[in-house]
Structure formats: structure tokens, C-alpha cells
């Protein structure tokens, strides 16, 4: 086969269209051949460059064949391929001209910050015209624009408003409540004072139009009134991303929007017009079919036109059907019958209601289905999953409902909300098991499904579609943005998906165009053909069985859809619970810790009970007792609280094995490093501009100067002086002593320097709001203080001691090598050679080992090794030089050099394929010299999906990496996860680092559970703890256990043990280290049990 040009190393295009199109077409052209073709073992005879590229193409093709859109790509017409090419060119153009041109923007960024920009792009305008199929998940109460709902309300004089307090200009305004009043009530309220009057009686009703007309000018007049009402019906960016900073708080705000809108919407004339506009607005966005979730809440009835009575549920359905029929008629009259296939309803009730109330709701659903068999297509439970009852709570009622429906010959499937949670393995997350076992035909949201490898397989096999709502999930704080959403995991695993908007009036995402846009720009392999497949899937998984065109698709989806037998073979509750337990056990057996759980001693299980009880107790008393807190919340907001918990203190004592991923320049506490610098008069600093109170302080750069150099700068003005010459050196000691009082004197100086060496909560969560910006800040924290020999010696000593004090017994340090990062000699006159730096490092390691041995603590520190770390931004010739240097150092220091890596931000740096030939040559040279220098690449530290950055994961595997760093995007690769697991390639996961560098919102939304639940080997790591303020490993271990209900103390022990198993120690040393760790672990378990 002719070699494809794309696969040549060093391709210059960052995100070439051909990387998507050619790989996809190649994947389909080779079909099953690519999957079954014998291939050489990854560690066997080294391939030629050409052979390597062929293997790479085969691997990518094999994985892409699993994707949901594989068939559509395979069968694409020439015209479709041309269209995909045109659209991708447009996307790439706007990525550079719109999203990358502004440092405050990036593709797929948080929606409410991006919306106005999105709406102006040509790609969005093109997607707006696209036929999008069906909208399968949207709640009627929140589908029309909030301004439109207010406009409707103003058309009816009987709509009144009340507030719980007077509006006096102080923010926030109280939430309004609306209600249509009877004529008698209208008369009684006619003279009530306005809510803005000091005479207003809280809770009294005022005509809406009067309140609006009388809204004071100082509060904005009618426009101010409208802004207040619309803000009560919606969620804005400040609320979603800053103000309501926990899921509980944002859900409280979210719930209030429904409470406010219900009093307007649930009025018969408004309901009718609202449904009309709801449908028309979807049609105008290219949606041809809608399944509307109608809430039948007894406390929120639809009120009759004269406001004297409540409509029955039957009357509400009839009212809705009439509105749908009217829209259908209008579409036919306009010659647009094909634009609107129709709409149907899903019966919903709240999951917070009692068991008896649920039985009543289910009976009501059956009655309505009998009355309106063609309209009502399913049953669902809504509201926040975390706060409501799980499905299992209603098990008896739901099984009885199935039996009764079968008896009556009614097809009323379950379409449950399930997995709309950050929970991992708890009862809320377990709704996904019950949705499957109860025969749900679709699930709403399914956000946590990505953590369940077995469930994803079963959902795919049974054609259970997931109604994914990316923008909703973002705004309700399940994910930072669409870039970090688990949607690609579902798509890459072939799970059926129907993109949905959920509550577009609240989230400002009308129709489906915004959701489709965000999904496309967040993935390099999601093309216009992929969006077409999503649109088609929405119709294939809709309840359109009466339409001939869709019968084959529906038949395929329903042929094996019922996991529960029908009629008289429905299980008893005990049989159901047994099936459920078997399903959960089958999936848990895949987890990384299945062995340690299965083989746990009685004492270990007792320790699990003790620690789990402590975790639950502190969950309630610490995290949920404060509305601003929640377990696993963003680290820098949580750190001080974490440090005070008993669970953290217990984890601090735990033997944690090895730290395998940490960069030498950023391991020791920043304050300690700064204090070291103050001990040396030769340390100088410079800034690019003056330091004054009128602007943000510039970043200082440090360097030791020789005595001769220092004498040249002794009279230089300080950066705080107007006479300062930018970039001229000044003594750190002298500048600190002379730091002006108005800037804080010495304390002010110290705060400035420490803030330059670290990332704060405001930096990462607010100020540096894109990955490019936070990486710029991060890169600038490496100020060069460790690169002075006397400091370096003391720094490495403290580095090792501080890890030991946190329970870490072995460290592999990434030491960066580049001409600009050498260690300067004590007299400041020369740069140390790399060999000299390693001599110093080895001597410090030996000294620390001897010191611990002398203290009778030899078992606490077994040693440290160095990983040679090049920079991925350099040229190929420069990389070859560094690879050769690594070989020479390995030959000289065979026990010290552990491996080779490339550091630096992956997204703007060169991908591994750029250096493929050099890396293959390196492996050949190493084998010829009998040197074992494994690759330990940074790979997958990105939220790229399918582009060349994400593809570093393929190359790390094919190049024989023994471990990879971060692997954040590995969760999107089902085949690669399998390969990594089978080949025991460990992932050095750095949850806190990933959060602070904006790959995830918090530990709760991190991909770690996905790797663990798929059995991928993991070594928890801290990366750059000096910068991120997460010293040692205790904070990362703590966040891992509180963010998961199935990760227990034995799971943490397994992670610790794995870190040693996947270290670079030779077999003898590794066995000894594991023996020492086992003894320390047993003592730790004994201590936990004895203390309780």
C-alpha cells in the first residue's frame, strides 16, 4: 500500500484536516484487516521508520473503527467528504482567527463566556442551518426564551407578582413569584403598594404591569425591571462560574428559576402560546421532532383561563396536543410539512417525593397513556439526583408499573435521568445500573457513565441512548467546559448519543445549534459528518415507531432491548437485587483494586470500615455543613479545610510508596527555597519593568552573579525607583531591605516573590481563564533559584527529606536539561556540566540515606533516581544532541539515570511523531550499548480529542514507553486503555496539577476514576508541588479518596504499592522496596485499628 503522506514524521500542520479525514478513511478502507493484522510486539525488533508509521496507522484505524460515526465515515459520498473538508478548513481558520487570536479565548471554552463570540462565527451560522433531527431531552418549563415568557405574562392583566421583601436598590434583589389571580383577587390587590415602595407588605400581590410601569428610574425603569425578572429566570456567567461555587449552590439557583417561571407558564392561555413558540423556535433551529418532558407536580398545577380552577393532568395533555396540532397545521399550510415531524410527551415527576406519591404518579401515567396512547412515550423522574431518592428506592413501585403496563398492553418505557452526578460508585451513580436493569430505553445525561466500562458496553449492545446535555452539565458544575466533558468517551466507545439542550431558557442555549457547535470545536475528530450522525441517531432512538422510514432502525434498537423479561417472568424484588449485585460485582472486578479487596485480611476490612466511617462523618460535618464547600472541590479553595480534617491527618501517616512524577525545580516549598536564596549575597534579581502600586508587579528573574559581575551592579537603582533601568541586576538582600513601606516593606517583598513562584486560587480559577494563560503564568514560576550550586545542594536535600516526612520512600526526579537551565558554580563564574550536576545529586542522595540510616529510619528512604528530561519545543538536531547526552550519562551513571522524557506544554510543543526517527535511533543505539533507558513520556496532558497532541498517546505506546506522564486524554481511548492495561504501562496521574492547569474543574471531575475503573495502572503524583501548593502526596491521595465512594483506604494502598511496582528499580531492589512497604503498610493498618 502506498505510504500516506500524513504519516511522515515532522508534519508541520498543528491540526491538519488530513489527520482526521485520511485516518478515518484509512480505518474504514482496511476494515477488519486493520483489526486482525498480526503486528510485531511493541518491544520486539525495532521497526524502520516506514514500518513504524504503518503500525501507527493500523493502531489508530483499529481504535477509530469503534467510534459511533465509523459507519457514516466509511459510507460517506464524495460530496459528503468534500463538505467535511470545507467545514474543517473553516473550523481551523476560525480557531486561529477567532479563538487563539484573543488570549482570553479558546475553542470549547465555558459557554456563557463564549456565547456572543460563537454566535458571530461563520461555523455557527453554518451549523444553525443544519437539520438536527430530534430534541429528546428538554423540560417544557424551561424551553422558551425567558424574555418571551415575560412578554407573554405582560399580555395578561391578571398575572401578578410578589416578593419576600422590598426592592430598595440593594443587590441581590429578592426572587419574584408570579400567579394569575381571580377577578375578586385582582380587585383586592388593586391598591397594594409596589414592591419598590417602603409601604410594600412582603408577600402581597401586585399586578405585573403595574409593578413594571412603576419601577423607579434609579433602578433602571422598565428595562431595569425586565433585567431583574429575566435574571430570576436564567443563570448568568458570574453565577455559574464564580458566585455559586458548589453543585448544591448552583442547583439552588437553578431550582429557583423554575419556581419563578412556573407562576407565569402554568396559566392556560400562556401555556398554549408557550408550547406553540417552543415548537416553532426548535423548527427554526433545524429540529424536526421533539420529545417534551412534562412535569406533573401536584403543587404546580396549570391554572384555568379565569384562574378559578386547576386543570386536570388530562386537560393539560389535551391542551399541549392541541398546540402541537396547531403548529403542524401551520407548517403544512406554509409548505413546510417536512420541517416538523411532530412532538410527543414524556411523563415526569420529582424523584424527591414519597414512595406512596410515586405509586400515585405511576398510576396517573398509566391512565394518561391509555387516554393518549400516541402522545405519551415514556416515564421519567427529574430533579437533582444527588439530593433525591435513587431509583432503587422506588424499585417495588417500578416493577409493579412494568407488570401493570404489560397487563394492559401499554408500551410506556422508562427514560430515566441517571448519572447526572459527580458521584463515583455511590447510590446516585448506581442509578445507571438500575436504569439498565429496569429496561430504560434511554437515559438523561449519563454524565458518570464514562466511569463504567462494563455499563458502557451493555448500553451500546442494548441500544440504550444517552441524552447528553453538554452545556447544561457545564453550567450545573459537572464539568469546567465542553473541552473536559466526557462526551468523547461515550462517542469513542460507540455508545448511542442524542445531543440535547435540557433547559435552554435557563442556560441561554436555544435549540441545539450551540450544543452542536461546542461539541464540534472541542474535538479534532468530530466532523460535520459526525454531527450528521448525531442528528440521525436522535431520530433513530426517538419514539417514532409509527413512521415507516424509522421502523428498521427502531427494530434494530429494540430487538434485544429488554434485559428484564416481560409479563409473568418479571423478577421478584429479591431476584432483581441479586441480578443487580451480580452486575455491580462483574464491573467492580475490572477495577484496579479488585485483587486487594478480594484478598483483604479481616484487619484490613476493619480499617476500611473505620476510615470510611470517618470519611462519611467529615463529609457531613465539614464539607456539607458549609454551603460553600463540598468533597473534592477545587483544591486551592479547599486546602486549608483539608489540612484540618482527621482523614487528612490519617492519610499523612500512610506509607505512600514512590513519587514517580515531579520536576526538580518545583518540588520544595517556595518559601523554603526563597529563604535559601536570602542566605547568599550573590543572588540578584531583575525585572522587565518597574515595581509600583499602580500596576501588577512584574515577574522577577533570579541569578547568582560572580563577585566581578556583582560589583558592576552595586549602585543600580532598585526596581521600585523611577530611575530603575529595566532588566538590570540588583542584590536580592539589598532590594528586600529597601522595599518601600507603602508596598509592604520586607513582608511585601516576600509576598511578591512567593506569589511569582506559585499559582494562587485567584490565578487559576479567575484571572488566567484559558489554558494558554495559565500555562504562561505557570512557566513564569520557574525563576532559576535552584540553579545555584550551594542552593541546589541544600534544595535536593530538603526535597528528599520532605518527601520522606510525607510517607514517600522512593523518588524519581525529573531533571531538566537545557543550555539555559544549568547549575552555576558557587563562585558564579561557570556553568556546571551535566555530569557534575549528577555527581552532586548522587552525593546528596547518599548523604540523606546515610542520615536516615543513622537515625534508625533506613526503611523510610530507599533512594532516588533521575529521569533525563528534554524540552519538546526544541528542534530535531537539538533533540538528537540531548538524546546522545542522555546515553552518555546513562553509561556513566547506570544506577542513577532511570529514563528519558520530554517536558513542556504538549499543546504548543512538538508531538512525539515529530521526533520519531530520532527516538527510534536512540532505542537502537541504547540496545547496541546494552543500556536500558526506557521512555517515560509526557503524553495526553491535553483535552485535545483525536488531534496530533492527543495522538502522543499512540506514539508513547508504539515507542515502548514504560510509563507516561499525566495521560489525561487517555480516558477517551478505549483501545489504548486496553493496550496500556495489558502491557502494564502505568500512568503517572497528577490530579491537582491537572486541575490548576485547567484540564479539569476539580478532583470530582477528573478522569482518574475512569482509569482506575478500567484497571489501568496508575501512580498518583504531584508534578510541581511547590507551584501548586500540594507538597508530598497526601493532598493528592486525600482528593482521590473523597472524590469517589468506591475508593477506600485499601485502594490508596494499592496505588502506593503500584507506584513501587512501576518504578525503574531493578528486580532485586524493587522486591526489597515492596517488602519494606508491606511491613510499613501492616503497621499502618494496625495503628488505624488500634486507635479505634
Structural domains of the chain, ranges and CATH numbers in brackets? 76-156+245-590 (3.20.20.140), 157-233 (no CATH), 635-667+788-823+831-852+872-1091 (3.20.20.140), 681-780 (no CATH)
Least trusted range by pLDDT, from 81-85, 121-125, 241-245, 802-806: 241-245
What percentage of residues in the chain have a pLDDT greater than 90? 91
CA distance 97 to 1005: 30
Cα Rg of the chain, angstroms:
31
CA distance 970 to 973: 5
pLDDT at 565: 41
Contacts (Cβ under 8 Å, ≥6 apart) of 645: 618, 622, 1038
pLDDT for 984-1005, tens place per residue? 999 999 999 999 999 999 999 9
| Rounded (5°) CA angle 269-375-328 | 60
Q: Is the pLDDT of residue 171 over 90?
A: no
DSSP 240: I
Q: Which three cell numbers stand for residue 302?
A: 396549570
Helices and strands (DSSP H and E) totals, the chain: 48, 22
CA distance 807 to 852: 13
pLDDT-derived band at 33, boundaries 50, 70, 90: very low
Q: Are 908 and 874 in contact (CB under 8 A)?
A: no
Three-class SS of 695-748 = CCCCCCEEEECCHHHHHHCCCCCCCCCCCCCCCCCEEHHHHHHCCCHHHCHHHH
pLDDT-derived band at 40, boundaries 50, 70, 90: very low
CA 1006 to chain centre: 6
pLDDT at 554: 38
Question: What average pLDDT score do residues 222-251 get?
Answer: 96
Contacts (Cβ under 8 Å, ≥6 apart) of 174: 163, 164, 165, 167
Q: Which three cell numbers stand for residue 367?
A: 391512565
CA distance 209 to 158: 9
| b/e burial code for range 469-500 (CB count within 10 A of at least 16 → b) | bbbbbbbbbbbbbbbbbbbbbbbbbbbbbbbb
The runs of H, that is alpha helices, within 944-1006 are 952-958, 974-982, 991-996
CA-nearest of 216, 187, 186, 191 to 201 is 191
Q: Is the pLDDT of residue 1055 over 60?
A: yes
**3-state DSSP helix/strand/coil % of the chain, to nearest 5:** 55, 10, 35
pLDDT for 1001-1027, tens place per residue? 999 999 999 999 999 999 999 999 999
Residue with the three cell numbers 509600583? 692
pLDDT at 560: 33
DSSP 330: H
Sign of CA dihedral 939, 945, 951, 953: positive
pLDDT at 545: 53
pLDDT-derived band at 168, boundaries 50, 70, 90: confident
Query: How many CA atoms lie within 13 Å of 603's alpha carbon, on the beta-carbon side?
Result: 11
CA distance 938 to 935: 10
Q: Which three cell numbers stand for residue 968?
A: 489525561
CA-nearest of 920, 994, 909 to 955 is 920
pLDDT at 678: 97
Q: Is the pLDDT of residue 859 over 90?
A: yes
Least trusted range by pLDDT, from 372-381, 454-463, 689-698, 772-781: 689-698
CA distance 725 to 718: 9
pLDDT-derived band at 599, boundaries 50, 70, 90: very high
Q: Is the pLDDT of residue 947 over 60?
A: yes
Q: Are 537 and 136 in contact (CB under 8 A)?
A: no
| Whole-Å CA distances, 1069 to 192, 682, 964, 1058 | 84, 41, 22, 15
The runs of H, that is alpha helices, within 866-910 are 876-892
pLDDT-derived band at 30, boundaries 50, 70, 90: very low
pLDDT-derived band at 808, boundaries 50, 70, 90: very high
pLDDT at 58: 97
Q: Is the pLDDT of residue 402 over 50?
A: yes
pLDDT for 718-727, tens place per residue? 999 999 999 9
pLDDT for 296-334, tens place per residue? 999 999 999 999 999 999 999 999 999 999 999 999 999
CA-nearest of 206, 789, 66 to 490 is 66
Q: Which three cell numbers stand for residue 85?
A: 473538508
pLDDT-derived band at 3, boundaries 50, 70, 90: very low
Residue with the three cell numbers 406512596? 356
- The mean pLDDT value of the chain amounts to 93
Question: What average pLDDT score do residues 749-756 get?
Answer: 97
What percentage of residues in the chain have a pLDDT greater than 70? 93
pLDDT-derived band at 570, boundaries 50, 70, 90: confident
pLDDT at 695: 74
pLDDT for 536-564, tens place per residue? 999 999 998 543 333 333 333 333 334 44
Question: What average pLDDT score do residues 98-115 get?
Answer: 96
pLDDT-derived band at 12, boundaries 50, 70, 90: very low
Question: What average pLDDT score do residues 486-513 get?
Answer: 98
pLDDT for 893-915, tens place per residue? 999 999 999 999 999 999 999 99
More confident residue, 103 or 805: 805
pLDDT at 696: 85
CA 971 to chain centre: 11
| Whole-Å CA distances, 522 to 483, 486, 890, 947 | 5, 11, 41, 11
pLDDT at 818: 74
Concatenating the DSSP letter of every residue in 440-498 gives -SEEEE-GGGGG-HHHHHHHHHTT-EEEE-HHHHHHTTSSSSGGG-SHHHHHHTT--EE
| Rounded (5°) CA angle 532-503-377 | 70
Q: Which three cell numbers stand for residue 110?
A: 465555558
| Rounded (5°) CA angle 1051-1053-1056 | 115
Q: Which three cell numbers stand for residue 983?
A: 502491557
pLDDT at 44: 54
Question: What average pLDDT score do residues 265-272 get?
Answer: 98
Q: Is the pLDDT of residue 24 over 50?
A: no
Other beta carbons less than 10 A from residue 181's beta carbon: 18
pLDDT at 820: 65
Q: Is the pLDDT of residue 25 over 80?
A: no
Q: Is the pLDDT of residue 28 over 90?
A: no
1015 Rama class: left (phi>0) / alpha (psi -120 to 50) / beta: left
pLDDT for 46-99, tens place per residue? 899 999 999 999 999 999 999 999 999 999 999 999 999 999 999 999 999 999
Q: Is the pLDDT of residue 479 over 70?
A: yes
Q: Is the pLDDT of residue 170 over 90?
A: no
pLDDT at 544: 84
Amino acid at each position: 500500500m502506498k505510504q500516506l503522506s500524513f504519516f511522515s514524521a515532522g508534519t508541520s500542520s498543528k491540526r491538519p484536516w488530513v489527520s482526521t479525514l485520511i485516518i478515518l478513511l484509512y480505518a474504514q478502507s482496511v476494515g477488519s484487516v486493520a483489526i486482525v493484522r498480526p503486528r510485531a510486539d511493541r518491544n520486539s525488533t525495532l521497526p524502520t521508520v516506514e514500518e513504524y508509521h504503518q503500525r501507527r496507522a493500523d493502531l489508530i484505524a483499529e481504535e477509530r473503527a469503534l467510534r459511533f460515526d465509523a459507519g457514516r465515515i466509511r459510507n460517506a459520498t464524495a460530496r459528503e467528504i468534500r463538505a467535511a473538508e470545507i467545514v474543517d478548513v473553516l473550523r481551523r481558520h476560525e480557531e486561529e482567527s477567532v479563538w487563539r487570536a484573543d488570549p482570553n479565548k479558546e475553542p470549547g471554552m465555558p459557554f456563557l463566556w463564549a456565547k456572543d463570540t460563537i454566535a458571530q462565527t461563520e461555523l455557527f451560522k453554518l451549523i444553525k442551518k443544519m437539520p438536527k433531527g430530534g430534541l429528546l431531552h428538554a423540560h417544557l418549563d424551561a424551553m422558551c426564551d425567558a424574555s418571551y415568557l415575560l412578554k407573554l405574562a405582560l399580555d395578561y392583566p391578571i398575572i401578578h407578582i410578589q416578593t419576600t421583601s422590598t426592592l430598595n436598590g440593594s443587590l441581590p434583589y429578592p426572587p419574584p413569584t408570579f400567579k394569575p389571580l381571580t377577578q375578586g383577587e385582582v380587585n383586592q390587590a388593586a391598591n397594594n403598594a409596589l414592591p419598590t415602595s417602603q409601604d410594600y407588605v412582603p408577600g402581597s400581590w401586585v399586578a405585573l404591569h403595574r409593578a413594571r410601569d412603576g419601577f423607579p428610574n434609579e433602578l433602571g425603569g422598565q428595562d431595569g425591571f425586565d433585567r431583574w425578572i429575566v435574571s430570576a429566570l436564567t443563570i448568568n456567567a458570574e453565577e455559574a462560574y464564580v458566585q455559586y461555587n458548589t453543585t448544591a449552590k448552583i442547583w439552588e439557583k437553578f431550582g429557583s428559576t423554575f419556581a419563578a417561571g412556573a407562576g407565569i407558564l402554568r396559566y392556560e392561555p400562556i401555556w398554549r402560546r408557550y408550547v406553540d413558540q417552543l415548537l416553532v423556535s426548535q423548527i427554526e433551529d433545524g429540529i424536526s421532532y421533539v420529545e417534551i418532558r412534562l412535569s406533573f407536580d401536584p403543587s404546580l398545577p396549570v391554572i384555568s383561563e379565569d384562574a378559578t380552577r386547576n386543570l386536570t393532568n388530562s386537560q393539560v395533555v389535551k391542551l399541549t396536543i392541541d398546540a402541537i396540532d396547531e403548529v403542524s397545521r401551520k407548517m403544512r399550510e406554509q409548505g413546510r410539512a417536512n420541517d416538523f415531524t411532530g412532538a410527543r410527551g414524556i411523563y415526569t415527576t420529582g424523584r424527591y417525593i414519597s414512595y406512596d406519591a410515586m405509586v400515585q404518579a405511576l398510576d396517573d401515567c398509566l391512565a394518561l397513556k391509555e387516554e393518549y396512547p400516541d402522545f405519551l412515550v415514556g416515564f421519567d423522574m427529574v430533579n437533582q439526583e444527588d439530593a433525591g431518592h435513587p431509583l432503587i428506592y422506588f424499585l417495588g413501585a417500578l416493577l409493579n408499573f412494568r407488570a401493570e403496563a404489560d397487563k394492559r398492553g401499554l408500551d410506556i418505557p422508562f427514560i430515566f435521568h441517571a448519572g447526572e452526578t459527580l458521584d463515583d460508585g455511590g447510590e446516585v451513580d448506581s442509578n445507571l445500573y438500575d436504569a439498565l436493569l429496569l429496561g430504560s430505553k434511554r437515559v438523561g445525561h449519563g454524565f458518570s457513565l464514562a466511569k463504567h466500562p462494563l455499563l458502557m458496553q451493555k448500553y451500546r449492545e442494548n441500544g440504550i441512548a444517552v441524552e447528553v446535555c453538554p452545556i447544561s452539565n457545564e453550567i450545573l458544575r459537572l464539568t469546567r467546559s465542553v473541552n473536559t466533558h466526557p462526551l468523547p468517551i461515550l462517542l469513542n466507545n460507540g455508545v448511542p448519543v442524542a445531543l440535547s439542550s435540557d433547559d435552554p431558557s435557563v442556560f441561554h442555549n436555544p435549540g441545539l445549534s450551540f450544543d452542536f457547535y461546542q461539541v464540534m470545536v472541542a474535538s479534532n475528530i468530530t466532523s460535520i459528518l459526525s454531527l450528521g450522525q448525531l442528528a440521525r441517531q436522535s431520530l433513530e432512538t426517538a419514539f417514532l415507531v409509527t413512521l415507516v422510514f424509522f421502523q428498521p432502525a427502531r427494530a434494530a434498537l429494540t430487538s434485544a432491548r429488554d434485559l428484564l423479561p416481560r409479563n409473568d417472568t418479571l423478577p421478584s424484588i429479591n431476584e432483581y437485587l441479586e441480578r443487580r449485585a451480580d452486575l455491580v460485582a462483574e464491573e467492580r472486578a475490572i477495577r484496579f483494586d479488585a485483587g486487594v479487596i478480594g484478598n483483604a485480611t479481616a484487619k484490613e476490612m476493619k480499617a476500611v470500615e473505620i476510615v470510611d466511617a470517618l470519611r462519611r462523618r467529615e463529609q457531613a460535618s465539614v464539607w456539607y455543613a458549609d454551603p460553600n464547600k463540598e468533597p473534592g472541590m477545587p483544591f486551592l479553595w479547599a486546602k486549608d479545610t483539608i489540612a484540618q480534617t482527621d482523614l487528612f491527618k490519617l492519610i499523612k501517616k500512610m506509607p505512600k510508596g514512590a513519587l514517580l512524577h515531579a520536576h526538580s525545580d518545583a518540588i520544595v516549598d517556595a518559601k523554603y527555597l526563597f529563604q535559601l536564596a536570602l542566605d547568599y549575597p550573590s543572588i540578584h534579581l531583575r525585572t522587565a519593568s518597574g515595581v509600583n502600586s499602580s500596576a501588577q508587579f512584574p515577574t522577577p528573574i533570579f541569578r547568582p552573579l560572580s563577585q566581578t559581575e556583582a560589583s558592576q551592579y552595586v549602585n543600580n537603582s532598585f526596581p521600585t525607583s523611577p530611575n530603575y533601568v529595566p532588566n538590570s541586576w540588583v542584590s536580592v538582600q539589598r532590594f528586600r531591605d529597601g522595599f518601600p513601606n507603602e508596598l509592604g516593606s520586607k513582608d511585601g517583598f516576600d509576598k511578591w516573590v512567593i506569589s511569582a513562584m506559585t499559582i494562587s486560587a485567584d490565578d487559576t480559577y479567575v484571572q488566567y481563564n484559558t489554558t494558554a494563560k495559565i500555562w504562561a503564568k505557570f512557566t513564569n514560576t520557574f525563576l532559576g533559584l535552584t540553579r545555584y550550586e550551594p542552593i541546589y545542594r541544600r534544595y535536593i536535600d530538603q526535597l528528599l527529606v520532605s518527601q520522606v516526612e510525607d510517607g514517600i520512600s522512593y523518588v524519581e526526579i525529573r531533571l531538566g536539561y537545557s543550555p539555559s537551565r544549568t547549575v552555576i558554580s558557587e563562585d558564579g563564574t561557570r556553568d556546571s556540566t551535566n555530569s557534575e550536576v549528577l555527581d552532586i545529586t548522587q552525593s546528596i542522595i547518599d548523604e540523606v540515606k546515610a542520615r536516615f540510616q543513622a537515625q534508625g529510619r533506613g526503611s523510610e528512604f530507599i533512594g532516588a533516581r533521575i529521569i533525563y528530561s528534554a524540552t519538546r519545543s526544541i528542534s530535531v538536531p537539538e533533540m538528537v544532541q540531548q538524546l546522545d547526552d542522555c546515553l552518555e550519562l546513562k553509561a556513566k551513571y547506570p544506577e542513577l539515570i532511570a529514563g528519558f522524557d520530554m517536558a513542556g506544554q504538549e499543546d504548543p510543543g512538538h508531538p512525539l511523531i515529530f521526533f520519531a526517527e530520532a527516538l527510534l535511533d536512540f532505542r537502537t543505539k541504547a540496545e547496541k550499548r546494552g543500556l536500558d533507558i526506557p521512555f517515560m513520556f509526557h503524553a495526553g496532558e491535553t483535552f485535545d480529542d483525536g488531534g496530533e497532541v492527543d495522538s502522543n498517546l499512540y506514539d508513547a505506546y508504539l515507542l515502548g514507553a514504560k510509563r507516561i506522564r499525566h495521560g489525561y486524554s487517555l480516558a477517551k481511548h478505549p483501545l489504548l486503555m486496553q493496550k496500556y492495561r495489558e502491557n502494564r504501562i502505568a500512568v503517572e496521574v497528577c490530579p491537582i496539577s491537572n486541575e490548576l492547569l485547567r484540564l479539569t474543574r476539580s478532583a470530582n471531575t477528573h478522569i482518574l476514576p475512569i482509569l482506575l475503573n478500567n484497571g489501568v495502572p496508575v501512580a498518583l503524583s504531584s508534578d510541581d508541588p511547590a507551584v501548586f501548593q500540594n507538597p508530598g502526596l497526601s493532598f493528592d491521595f486525600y482528593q482521590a479518596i473523597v472524590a469517589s465512594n468506591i475508593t477506600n483506604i485499601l485502594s490508596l494502598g494499592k496505588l502506593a504499592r503500584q507506584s513501587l511496582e512501576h518504578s525503574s528499580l531493578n528486580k532485586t531492589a524493587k522486591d526489597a522496596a515492596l517488602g519494606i512497604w508491606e511491613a510499613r503498610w501492616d503497621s499502618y493498618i494496625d495503628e488505624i485499628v488500634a486507635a479505634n
